A and B are shown apart, each in its own frame.
Chain A
Amino acid sequence: LAKTTQPISMDSYEGQEVNITCSHNNIATNDYITWYQQFPSQGPRFIIQGYKTKVTNEVASLFIPADRKSSTLSLPRVSLSDTAVYYCLVGINTGGFKTIFGAGTRLFVKA
């Protein structure tokens, strides 16, 4: 199983760019990388997904190096409302579906 490793917590200030890196050394050839955001007392919400290189949408960018053993979620110009837990997830579906969310990274954005 491709386990993920992320920093436990990060602090930032409003207006800064935040980069959260996730390590997934055992990622399989067919696995995709997905990031979710979770606010307190809510279910997680999908942010972005990618396979290789760079993916960008209206809220974030995802950078994946050629070896795919890590990935970096980039949040441009964060605001107080971006304070949340961010999960890196590697898709696994070989002989059964397993989802490894891990403990995530707690991002705290300060004014």
Chain B
Amino acid sequence: NAGVTQTPKFQVLKTGQSMTLQCAQDMNHNSMYWYRQDPGMGLRLIYYSASEGTTDKGEVPNGYNVSRLNKREFSLRLESAAPSQTSVYFCASSEGLTSGIVYEQYFGPGTRLTVT
């Protein structure tokens, strides 16, 4: 039982390049999330998927796209990377979403992305 896995662990991109961050969970969770964390800051929600087949914008979606490939996998794509997207990206999953309740979220180890 690996929990939440993310690939790659580190990545350096040049401005304008594209890439996809991969995330998978093996806990049969319905909901998955992508966050970014800038140095010394809290996490900010980029996109989330409440259930397979649905995706919604979070707090900072601009410059990103997501795909909920199946129940297990949720990918984050940067179409044209910018230096402002230099950050640590965390994927998380939870059993589900219910009004007012934040179910326990399980986080992956993160992807450290640098855009030069």
Chain A contact residues, CB within 8 Å of chain B: 28-32, 34, 36, 41-46, 49, 87, 89-94, 96-104
Complex alpha-carbon distance, A48 and B110, angstroms:
22
Candidate in A36, A41, A44 with the most chain B CB atoms within 10 angstroms: A44
Q: Contact between B100 and A28 (Cβ–Cβ < 8 Å)?
A: yes
Complex alpha-carbon distance, A100 and B92, angstroms:
15
Determine how close the nearest CB of chain B comes to the CB of A52; give it in whole angstroms.
13
Nearest A residue to B31, CB-CB: A97
**Which listed residue (B44, B50, B92) contacts A97, Cβ 8 A?**
B50
Complex alpha-carbon distance, A58 and B31, angstroms:
26
A interface secondary structure, majority: loop
Q: Which residues of A contact B33 (CB under 8 A)?
A: 99
Additional 12 contacts, C-beta under 8 A, given A93-B101, A94-B99: A30-B101, A42-B109, A43-B92, A44-B90, A44-B107, A45-B107, A46-B104, A96-B56, A99-B45, A101-B35, A103-B40, A103-B42
Q: Contact between B42 and A97 (Cβ–Cβ < 8 Å)?
A: no
**Which listed residue (B41, B50, B102) contacts A99, Cβ 8 A?**
B102
Q: Contact between A93 and B110 (Cβ–Cβ < 8 Å)?
A: no
Q: Contact between A43 and B99 (Cβ–Cβ < 8 Å)?
A: no
Q: Which residues of A contact B4 (CB under 8 A)?
A: 43
Complex alpha-carbon distance, A103 and B44, angstroms:
10
**Which listed residue (A32, A44, A104) contacts B100, Cβ 8 A?**
A32
Can you sample 23 A-B contacts with CB below 8 Å? A30-B99, A42-B110, A43-B4, A43-B90, A43-B92, A43-B109, A44-B105, A44-B107, A46-B104, A87-B43, A91-B100, A92-B102, A93-B100, A93-B101, A94-B99, A97-B50, A99-B33, A99-B35, A99-B45, A99-B59, A99-B102, A103-B42, A104-B42
Q: Contact between A44 and B102 (Cβ–Cβ < 8 Å)?
A: no
